[in-house]
Amino acid sequence: VAFHIQSYRGRNDQTLHENIKYIIDRYGDHGAFYKFPSSTGKNLPLFYIYDSYLTPPESWSEFLTPSGSHSVRGSAYDSMFIALIVEERHKHDILAGGFDGMYTYFASNGFSFGSSHHNWKAIKAFCDGNNLLFIPSVGPGYTDTSIRPWNNHNTRNRVNGRYYETALQAALNVRPEVVTITSFNEWHEGTQIERAMPKKTVTRVYLDYQPHGPEHYLELTRSWAEQFKKEKQQWLM
């Protein structure tokens, strides 16, 4: 389990520091708590910080750089912190803030600079040049009009799995260390890959994967995960 920390009222570098302390104190020794091998050789917790751009890099640096006023670096709470890149300028803010990497989150190709597949090569090059992780996020499609009726222009058709595979191929093309999936079960944004049966209610028709079976996207995920593993072994040769 890796934690994805949403924005909340009053979230800043200080409150996030308190959150990290609480999470590591409470769960850090659990066998299911995800650890990532850092460049220092230590296995560290990894946290995704959603909407990280809402806090200025000067504030993040107080928490995330060794010289910061309440730096976590080198302490028992040191971790890998991954910021969200939405606009191109965010990559410089993420670097200045002391983050360890960036992820793209959104499943709608073209919705943001970060979520646009054609920008991933340039983002990866920036990250490689600054010792940052680039973690592209892939999704099976996108449709959120049940909660955002005005947002139809960001709908992305699944094309029976081809949209997902296109995103996965785009991710593997930049040779990332990690790929994230948006999402396992966010039904309200139409990005789920979990098992899905045809279902109707009075107010809603739930998305299913016909003509494929209920586990189509889990099967695709397994196949691409195996391919990713093979390709990573070749990159390291």
Maximum separation of any 2 CA atoms in the chain, in Å: 58
Secondary structure of residue 133 in the 3-state scheme: strand
Angle between the 13-27 and 57-64 helix axes, to the nearest 10 degrees?
Answer: 40
Residue count of the chain, please give it: 237
- Listed residue (207, 190, 188) closest to 198, CA to CA: 207
Q: Does position 206 have pLDDT exceeding 80, yes or no?
A: yes
pLDDT digits (tens, 9 = 90+) for 163-196: 999 999 999 999 999 999 999 999 999 999 999 9
Q: What is the mean pLDDT of residues 52-73?
A: 98
How far is the C-alpha of 213 from the C-alpha of 197, rounded, in Å? 8
Mean pLDDT of the chain: 96
Q: With bands split at pLDDT 50, 70 and 90, how would you rate the model's confidence at 217?
A: very high
pLDDT at position 237, please?
A: 66
How far is the C-alpha of 160 from the C-alpha of 183, rounded, in Å? 17
Residue 140: other Cβ atoms inside 10 A: 28
Q: What is the mean pLDDT of residues 85-104?
A: 98
Q: Do residues 51 and 105 make contact, with C-beta atoms less than 8 angstroms apart?
A: no
